[in-house]
Amino acid sequence: MTFKLPARLIGTLIAALIALTTFGAAPALADRDRDARIAATILGLAVVGKIIHDKNKKDKVVTKRYDDVRRHGYDNRRFQPKPLPRRVDTRLLPGNCLRSVQTRRGQVQMFEQRCLEQNYRFVNRLPRNCAQTIRTDRGHRAGYDARCLRQSGYRLARG
């Protein structure tokens, strides 16, 4: 059990002690030993006050408890990213949907339709003139031309 004194009480006590010591001192009769004792007492009270003040500061530190982590084994609060502002996230396309597809005419950069539908909320807002179906040796692939989308103001989301 610790004994705590508020900082205001300590300040009031020190001020009262200083005031009381000045009443009892007669300037003509004051001896050096008494002045030294008074100064040592004031200094000692100031040191004790500082120690108590620092102790109270340390006690105010708040520690967080993660009971949910112990109960469930994970902490959901850590893994929820901040949502992007609306004006930003409508024009950022997911980077994992960008594919380089080999055709007879060479490689084509495109965003696959199925991947965009799973990872991008605004597929219905993409320009229809950028939609394309490409024939490859593995069959037909539907998606959006990356160059056309870039010219329309869409960008690749980094990260």
Last residue of a domain, one of 80, 95, 129: 80
1 plus 74 within the same structural domain: yes
Which tokens go with 155? 């960008």
Whether residues 151 and 122 share a domain: the answer is yes
Which value, to the nearest 10 degrees, does the dihedral of the CA atoms of residues 131, 135, 139, 144 take?
-20
CA atoms within 13 A on the CB side of 130: 22
Q: Residues 4-42: pLDDT tens digits?
A: 666 676 777 777 777 666 665 555 455 677 877 888 888
Residue 128 has a pLDDT of 92
Same domain, 25 and 94: no
Of 80, 112, 139, the residue at which a domain comes to its end is 80
Q: Are residues 67 and 99 in the same domain?
A: no
Residue type, 111: F
Comparing 93 with 55, which gets the higher pLDDT?
A: 93
**How many alpha carbons fall within 13 Å on the CB side of residue 151?**
8
Burial of 39 (0-12, 13-18, 19+ CB in 10 A): exposed
Q: Outline where the chain has alpha helix (H).
A: 7-24, 32-59, 67-72, 86-89, 113-119, 146-151
Count of domains for the chain = 2
The reply to whether 26 and 70 lie within a common domain is: yes
pLDDT tens digit string along 63-91? 555 554 555 555 555 556 666 665 556 77
